[in-house]
Amino acid sequence: MAKSLLIITQKVDENDDLLGFFVSWIREFSGHFSRVDVITLGSGAYELPANVHVYSLGKESGTSKPLQAFRLVKLLLKYTRECDAVFAHMSPVFAILAWPFTALRRTKLALWYLHRSLTLKLRIAMAMVDTLVTADADSLTVKSPKIIAVGHGIDVVRFAVPQHRYDISYRPLRILSVGRLSSIKGFETLIRAAARLRDDDVACEVRIVGKAVMPDDHRYEEQLHALVARLGVADSVHFFGFVPYRDIAVHYRWADIVVGCTPTGGIDKAVLEGMAAGCVIVTSNTVMRKYIAPEYADDCIFRHDDPIDLAGKLEHLLSADVSSIGSGMRYVVARDHNLSVTIGKIIELL
- Alpha-carbon 170 to chain mean position: 32
Helix, strand, coil shares of the chain, percent, nearest 5, are 45, 20, 35
Q: How far is CA 345 from CA 90, 144, 202, 276, 337, in A?
A: 17, 18, 45, 20, 11
Residue 82: what pLDDT? 87
Cα 103 from Cα 109, distance rounded (Å): 9
CATH 3.40.980.10 fits 173-335, yes or no: no
Where are the domains positioned within the chain? 4-149, 173-335
**Averaged over 193-204, what is the pLDDT?**
96
**Helix or strand run (H / E) with residue 282:** strand 280-283
What CATH architecture is 4-149? 3-Layer(aba) Sandwich (3.40)
Query: Taking all residues of the chain, what is their mean pLDDT, rounded to a whole number?
Result: 92
Q: What is the pLDDT of residues 78-98, one digit of tens each?
A: 999 989 999 999 999 999 999
Q: What is the pLDDT of residues 256-308, one digit of tens each?
A: 999 999 998 777 889 999 999 999 999 999 988 888 888 888 999 999 999 99
Domains 4-149 and 173-335 share a fold: yes
**Averaged over 55-73, what is the pLDDT?**
94
